[in-house]
Copies of this chain bind each other. A is one copy, B any other.
Amino acid sequence: MSHSGYKGKSLEFLEKNKIEVGNMVRVKADSTYSGILMPRYEYSDDDHIVLKLKNGYNIGLQIEKIIQIEIESHPSVKKENTTQPQTDPKLPKILLISTGGTIASRIDYRTGGVSPALTAAELNASVPEISKIANIDTEVLFSEYSENLLPEHWRKIAEKLNSYSRSEYKGIIVAHGTDTMQYTAAALSFSLSGFPKPVALVGSQRSSDRPSSDASLNLISAARFLVETNTNGIFVVMHNSISDDEIACHWGTRVRKNHTSKRNAFQTIGGSPVFIVKKDTIEKNPLFCPSEKPYNPKINFDSQVMLMKYYPGFDPKLVDHAINSGYKAIIFEGTGLGHVGKVMYESILRAKRKGLFIGMTSQCIDGIVRMTVYDSGRDLLNLGVIPLGNMIPETALVKAMWALGNTKDINEMEKIMQENIALEISD
C-alpha cells in the first residue's frame, strides 16, 4: 500500500480506513468532498490529508474534522488507449524529453507517486492529435517541479540535447515546469548557442486533468512549430492569450513569466514573440533576425553569482558578504536606467578591487540600461560596473553563471557579458 509522504496521525488514519494514495475517495467533513488522495512530502504536517478534487484543485482536509471517509472507486486509471501510436513513415520525427512540471503531472495522482507522465503511449492517449503531426519518441530525463531545478539540471538537459544535435529528429520538445522555465531556456540558449534544430520548451499553467488546461494545445502547437518552421534555437512555446486561438514561440533569452496563473503568463520582453502558431498558419515576426553563428556547445555553469535587487534600505554589507563568501560576480537589478544608491559605492569599489564582475540590469525589466544619462550611472561606470543593455535580469544572471563556467578571467568575462551570444541583447 502506498501512503507516500504520510506520517504520524495522518498515516494512522489512512491505515485504519484502508485508504491509499491514488484512491478515489468520498470524505464527509464540514461538507462532502470527492477526490483522489494525493501523496505528501517531507515537510508536510501529519494532521491533514490532501485530495485532488474533480475541478483539478487540491484541498487539504483536517483529519479531526473528518466524519467519514470511504473509497468511491479503485484507482481511476481509466484504460484509455495507451497502446503505442502507429508510426507514419511519411511524418517527420520529434523527440519529447520530459523533465517534470505540471505538464507531466497528469498521472501523478493516479499512480500515487511522482513517476513521470509523458511516455509515448500516454502522450498518444491524452493528445492523440500529435500523432498526425509527427512520430514522437519520448524520453524521461528526470521528474522535478521546476522550482527545484538547479544549474546542475540545466547541464543535464543541455548534454541530453547536445547528444541529439545530429540526430534524425526534426526538433525536440522539452516538457518543463513553468516556474523556472525562463532560466532553463536562457541556460540552454547560451550553452547550446547555434543549436542546429529547433527546441521547444513546453509547460502548462493548468494540469491536464482540468478542463481549462493549456497542456494539449501547447504540445500540439510545439509539434507543429518544430515540423512546419525551418528554424533553429531555443524557444518557449506557450499560450499567447487566455483563449485558445494563438500560441506564442518566444525566443529563449527574451522571455519572462509575468503572471502567476494565466495561461498566457509568458511574454517576450521588449518585443513580440518570434512565431505565432494559429489554427491554420504559423506567422513569423518579420523583425526577428536569427543568428548565423555555428553551433558551439559550451556546457558549463558556475553558480557563484548573486542577483541583487536594489531597493531603498538595501544593506551594502550584502555586497561584502558576497565578497567574503567567494562569489565571483554580482548582477544588480538596479532602479530605472541602471542605478543603485550612493550608499553602495564603497562596497562596490571593494568588490571590484577583489576582482568580482559587477553587471547592471534594471528592475523595470523592460527597456535599456543607460548609465551615461545621470551622475549616478556615470559614477557606477567609473566604479567599474558593466551595463548590460536590455538584457532581462534573470537572463543576465544565467549568462553570468554560464560565462563563469567557461572563463575565470575577469576581462574575458566582461567581454562575454557585453557580447550578444544568443540574441539576449535586442537593442
B-binding residues in A (CB < 8 A): 39-45, 50, 57-60, 145-151, 153-154, 177-180, 183-184, 257-262, 265, 301, 303, 305-307, 309-313, 315, 317-318, 321, 325, 333-343, 345, 362-370, 372-376, 378-379, 382-383, 394, 397, 401
Contact = CB atoms under 8 A, between A and B. Distances in A.
16 contacts: A44-B379, A57-B372, A145-B374, A145-B375, A145-B376, A147-B341, A147-B376, A151-B312, A179-B336, A180-B335, A259-B364, A261-B367, A303-B312, A305-B313, A309-B309, A315-B325
A374 B367 CA distance: 34
Given A44-B375, A44-B382, A147-B376, 4 more contacts: A40-B375, A60-B372, A147-B335, A150-B313
A289 to B, nearest CB: 23
Given A179-B336, A339-B179, A60 B378 contact: yes
B307 A339 contact: no
Contacts of A401: 313
Given A45-B382, A180-B311, A257 B364 contact: yes
B309 A317 contact: no
A39 B341 CA distance: 18
Contacts of A367: 259-262, 265
Contacts of A40: 375, 378
Contacts of A333: 309
Given A311-B183, A335-B147, A370-B261, A43 B379 contact: yes
Nearest to A57: B373
A146 B337 CA distance: 12
A383 to B, nearest CB: 6
A255 to B, nearest CB: 13
Contacts of A382: 43-45
B362 A260 contact: yes
A167 B280 CA distance: 65
Contacts of A258: 364-366
B362 A311 contact: no
A40 B376 CA distance: 10
B149 A312 contact: yes
A189 to B, nearest CB: 15
A50 B378 CA distance: 10
A364 B180 contact: no
The 10 closest A-B pairs by CB, nearest first: A260-B367, A303-B313, A179-B335, A147-B339, A179-B336, A43-B379, A259-B367, A259-B366, A148-B341, A260-B364
A374 B362 CA distance: 31
Contacts of A369: 260
A352 to B, nearest CB: 11
A151 B314 CA distance: 10
A336 B44 contact: no
A2 B262 CA distance: 57
A182 B43 CA distance: 36
A61 to B, nearest CB: 12
Contact of A42 (B336, B368, B379): B379
Contact of A336 (B147, B303, B374): B147
A26 to B, nearest CB: 21
Nearest to A379: B43
Contacts of A307: 309, 311
